[in-house]
Amino acid sequence: MTRTAFVTGASSGIGRATAVALAQAGFQLILTGRRRERLEELAQQLAPTPTCLLTFDVRDRAAVDAAVASLPAEFQQIDVLVNNAGGAHGLAPIQEGNPNDWDEMLDSNVKGLLNVSQAVLPGMTQRRQGHIINIGSIAGHEVYANGNVYCASKAAVAALSKAMRIDLLPLNIRVAEVNPGAVETEFSQVRFKGDTERAAKVYQGYDPLKPEDIADVIQFMVTRPANVHIAEITVFAGAQGAATLINRT
Ligand code: NDP
Ligand code: 8X3
């Protein structure tokens, strides 16, 4: 039987590449994000892989619940959930932080992950089978100057991933945390609010990770047999040894 993967934030970056990698591995896909046209373009690219598109903001619990409840029968049995949607907003010392940015990061990266997990889990718990991949970050395992609330949001993802793994173990649901280092996506454009020059500098002077590098890791994890439970993986760029320790030319 075809396995079904639900990928949040499939309209860009790591989520998009993960959708492509999982389609290649034979999954059918539920693709989610706010930018509908991006999801439609991806679905066309993935054809003939069956896809179902759900447009919602992960911060909106009612919208998440309604979207998951609207899934057609053939997409209701979700085998893999990739909690990827999220990002950073701003990079400023705590005393200069913008509370709207704090809300956006905590509501998307932490509560959004919870909202989606809670909507998807009833089917997994009923079948006593499932696999959840939470996209954390190296920023959840170390802090760096001005990263404060983003780092805190990803530290919460690290804690939640461990807690989910413990709570869901009796239900035969595996939970993993994937912690990327520097991946060139729209991440820095979002963090710097469309300042493309500043965003480009983040990836200058070295070869950053590509979203496909993280997608490969996720594909590997979700295609392991049931006796293998990978708990956590950190993936740096080749020139990277810590969040902000990067060998640049
Ligand atoms: P992108 O900005 O390229 O992609 C972010 C994705 O998340 C988009 O598809 C966006 O879709 C979706 N998204 C963001 N906020 C919401 C929301 N409130 N509701 C629904 N969807 C949302 O960045 P990345 O691919 O790099 O980021 C993916 C994940 O990886 C994030 O959790 C990020 O924190 C994490 N990460 C990224 C790293 C990097 O260096 N790039 C390193 C470590 C972790 P849309 O706007 O259409 O809703
Ligand atoms: C994204 C990586 O180091 O910019 O989570 O926070 S970092």
Tell me if 36 is assigned to some domain: yes
User: What does the alpha-carbon distance between residue 7 and residue 75 come to, in Å, rounded to a whole number?
Assistant: 13
Tell me if 77 is assigned to some domain: yes
Cα separation values, 137 from 45, 143, 167, Å: 28, 11, 22
How many structural domains is the chain composed of?
1
Nearest alpha carbon, ligand 2 atom 5: 137
Paired strand residues for 73: none
Tell me if 188 is assigned to some domain: no
Tell me if 228 is assigned to some domain: yes
Please tell me whether the peptide bond between 170 and the residue prior to it is cis, using omega within 30 degrees of 0: no
User: What does the alpha-carbon distance between residue 142 and residue 147 come to, in Å, rounded to a whole number?
Assistant: 10
Interface predicted TM-score of the whole assembly (ipTM), two decimals: 0.99
Low-confidence ranges of the chain (pLDDT < 50): none
206 labelled catalytic: no
Tell me if 52 is assigned to some domain: yes
Q: Which domain holds residue 83?
A: 4-182+209-234
Dump pLDDT digits (tens) for 178-197: 999 999 999 999 999 999 99
Pocket test for ligand 1, best of 56, 187, 191, 206 (most atoms within 8 A of CB): 187
For residue 92, give the CATH number of its domain. 3.40.50.720
> Which positions ≥6 away from 242 have C-beta within 8 Å?
138, 142
Nearest alpha carbon, ligand 2 atom 6: 139
Tell me if 241 is assigned to some domain: no
Strand order in the sheet with 80-83: 51-55, 28-33, 4-7, 80-83, 130-135, 173-180, 232-235
Helix (H/G/I), strand (E/B), else coil: 39 = helix
Tell me if 202 is assigned to some domain: no
Q: What is the pLDDT of residue 1?
A: 86
Tell me if 194 is assigned to some domain: no
Pocket test for ligand 2, best of 146, 148, 150 (most atoms within 8 A of CB): 150
